[in-house]
């Protein structure tokens, strides 16, 4: 019975099968092929609200550039803008509520008083939202000559404790005690973030930066945590380097570094040094991320507020924050918009016609912004 049914089954299958694909004209007789590489989810293209904090100094100039470019490329984001300034006693509750609701924020620099005055609002944001990882991508941009070539460093810095814990008090008049707090939980968390970033982005090496030869307990705990996490990623090379030697190696042979993971203070110093090596703080993107929220800003803190002369002349460099906004678009899962923006920015830098003073040019913020818009694909 089964043998007699086989021809009938074949005819039924043949009748139900789609016709064979026909050769495409002009393709050498090859068959038409379509490969699905990404399956959009419902709601993927829905516009997303983003909290915007213009900030102090050059902040309104560079965040204004971001708004113009986003509008020109019809990016699926819209902004909720809040005025926050570094001399405020605290971050307004409405701002925190907005970031919690939107999950994402982009901001200009906030001035932090030196010595006396209010505490840093940047630190308040990081602690309130538990933005435990700071990520700064320091790499050479095509067409921008620097002393070192082939630099492509990602600095991942623990963002909530260490010397930035804010635990200071005057023991007796003339004697101040400042506490450096290192915990196993935060050290393991930042180490896992660094190794997972390296794994997902095909990075080959993670370097832990420390001062455990002197701070044997605090930095020793940080190193111990990094080693435990490193043992779970055998395909990624793990290295340790004392921060003194790391500073020297950065300025003499920066191309040896790939991903760097650091406690709080060292990461700030390393990121700003690495930024200077590849062209300055005006071109380095960055972000602060946690489990639930992300705040994107200029990657290197030095100069993120600028000075009065730059503000008056309106010649702040918008490149860093534009690249940070490309990072934000990827975070929001809008990769095509991120690629368009990043490509346009790098094209403007490579052509060299429109550059601000820090990159050897004379252009204003608006001129660079318009050049980026003109180069959008």
Q: What pTM value is reported for the model?
A: 0.85
pLDDT tens for the chain, 377 residues: list them. 444 444 444 444 454 444 444 444 444 444 444 445 455 555 566 899 999 999 999 999 999 999 999 999 999 999 999 999 988 889 999 999 999 999 999 999 988 877 665 678 888 999 999 999 999 999 999 999 999 999 999 999 999 998 887 788 889 999 999 889 999 999 999 999 999 999 999 999 999 999 999 999 999 999 999 999 999 999 999 999 999 999 999 999 999 999 999 999 999 999 999 999 999 989 999 999 999 999 999 988 766 787 888 999 999 999 999 999 999 999 999 999 999 999 999 999 999 999 999 999 999 999 999 999 999 98
Note whether residue 330 is domain-resident: yes
- Backbone phi, then psi, for 69, in 5-degree steps? -70, -40
Strand, helix or coil for residue 271 = helix
161 Cβ contact list (under 8 Å, min separation 6):
181, 182, 183, 186, 263, 264
Say if residue 155 is in the same domain as residue 217. yes
Domain with 246 in it: 147-278
Note whether residue 11 is domain-resident: no
How many CA atoms within 13 Å lie on the side-chain side of 360? 10
Say if residue 309 is in the same domain as residue 216. no
21 Cβ contact list (under 8 Å, min separation 6):
31, 32
Note whether residue 80 is domain-resident: yes
Say if residue 259 is in the same domain as residue 302. no
Say if residue 158 is in the same domain as residue 268. yes
Say if residue 97 is in the same domain as residue 189. no
Total domains, the chain: 2
């Amino acid at each position: 019975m089964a043998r007699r049914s086989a021809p009938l089954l074949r005819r039924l299958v043949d009748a139900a099968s789609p016709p064979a694909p026909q050769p495409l004209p002009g393709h050498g007789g090859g068959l038409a092929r379509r490969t699905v590489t990404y399956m959009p989810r419902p709601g993927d293209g829905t516009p997303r609200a983003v909290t915007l904090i213009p900030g102090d100094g050059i902040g309104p100039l560079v965040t204004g550039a971001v708004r113009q470019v986003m509008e020109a490329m019809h990016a699926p984001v819209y902004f909720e803008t809040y005025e926050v300034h570094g001399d405020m006693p605290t971050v307004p509750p409405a701002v925190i509520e907005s970031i919690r609701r939107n999950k994402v924020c982009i901001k200009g620099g906030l001035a932090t008083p030196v010595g006396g005055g209010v505490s840093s609002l940047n630190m308040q944001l990081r602690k309130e939202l538990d933005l435990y990882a700071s990520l700064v991508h320091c790499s050479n941009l095509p067409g921008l000559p620097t002393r070192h070539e082939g630099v492509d460093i990602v600095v991942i810095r623990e963002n909530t404790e260490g010397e930035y814990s804010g635990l200071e008090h005057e023991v007796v008049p003339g004697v101040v005690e400042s506490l450096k707090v290192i915990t196993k939980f935060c050290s393991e968390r930042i180490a896992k973030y660094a190794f997972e970033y390296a794994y997902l982005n095909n990075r080959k090496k993670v370097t832990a930066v420390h001062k455990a030869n002197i701070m044997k307990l605090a930095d020793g705990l940080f190193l111990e945590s990094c080693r435990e996490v490193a043992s779970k990623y055998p395909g990624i090379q793990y290295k340790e380097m004392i921060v003194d030697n790391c500073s020297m190696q950065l300025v003499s042979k920066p191309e040896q570094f790939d991903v760097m993971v650091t406690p709080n203070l060292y990461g700030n110093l390393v990121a700003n040094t690495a930024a200077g090596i590849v062209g300055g703080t005006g071109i380095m993107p960055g972000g602060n991320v946690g489990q639930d929220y992300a705040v994107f800003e200029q990657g290197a803190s030095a100069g993120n507020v600028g000075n009065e002369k730059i503000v008056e002349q309106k010649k702040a460099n918008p490149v860093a924050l534009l690249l940070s906004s490309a990072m934000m678009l990827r975070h929001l899962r809008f990769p095509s918009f991120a690629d368009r923006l990043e490509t346009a920015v790098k094209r403007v830098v490579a052509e060299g016609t429109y550059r601000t003073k820090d990159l050897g040019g004379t252009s204003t913020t608006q001129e660079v912004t318009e050049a980026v818009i003109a180069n959008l694909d």
